[in-house]
């Protein structure tokens, strides 16, 4: 498991930036658009299903990171921050596990051509996205400051 300390020491791992509501909204919009793409994949390609499913979730979580002012270009570091957000009761428990499981499935199918089955529950993915969207709209400044203090 990747730690936050390890992420902080990586060039593109984890750094604090100015919170950015515009980027947060754009990442959320991208998550919603990606869900629509997922709904319209006709070939049922396991590579593209796994990749698109993962990015629906990833873009939603990254929108929250932009809201808080956290930049991560290493996906394992994004998942580690997601765990911190669970521990601090910002997001529901289990979101990091969903991301981690779907990232592994994406890598297995996309890079190792394992052709594993991809279970897509559009309602569950939509709930995931909407939950993060709601958090983006309601997170209070004190909580943002708390998370940023922990990561400093």
| pTM over 0.85, yes/no | yes
* Residue in the block written with tokens 């993060």: 132
Residue 70 is inside which H or E element, if any? strand 70-71
Q: Which CATH class is domain 4-151?
A: mainly alpha
| pLDDT confidence of residue 42 | 80
What ranges do the domains of the chain cover? Answer: 4-151
Contact assessment for residue 136 and residue 28, using Cβ atoms and an 8 Å cutoff: yes
Q: pLDDT > 70: what percent of the chain?
A: 99
Q: Is the pLDDT of residue 110 over 90?
A: yes
Taking each helix axis from N to C end, the angle separating 122-138 and 95-110, rounded to the nearest 10 degrees, works out to 130
């Amino acid at each position: 498991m990747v730690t936050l300390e390890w992420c902080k020491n990586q060039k593109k791992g984890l750094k604090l930036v100015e919170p950015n509501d515009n980027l947060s909204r754009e990442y959320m919009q991208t998550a919603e658009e990606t869900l629509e793409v997922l709904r319209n994949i006709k070939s049922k390609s396991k590579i593209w299903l796994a990749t698109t499913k993962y990015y629906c979730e990833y873009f939603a979580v990254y929108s929250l990171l932009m809201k808080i002012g956290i930049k991560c270009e290493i996906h394992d570091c994004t998942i580690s921050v997601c765990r911190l957000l669970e521990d601090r009761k910002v997001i529901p428990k289990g979101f990091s596990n969903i991301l981690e499981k779907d990232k592994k499935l994406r890598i297995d199918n996309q890079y190792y051509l394992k052709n594993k089955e991809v279970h897509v529950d559009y309602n569950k993915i939509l709930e995931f996205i909407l939950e993060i969207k709601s958090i983006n709209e309601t997170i209070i400044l004190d909580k943002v400051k708390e998370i940023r203090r922990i990561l400093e």
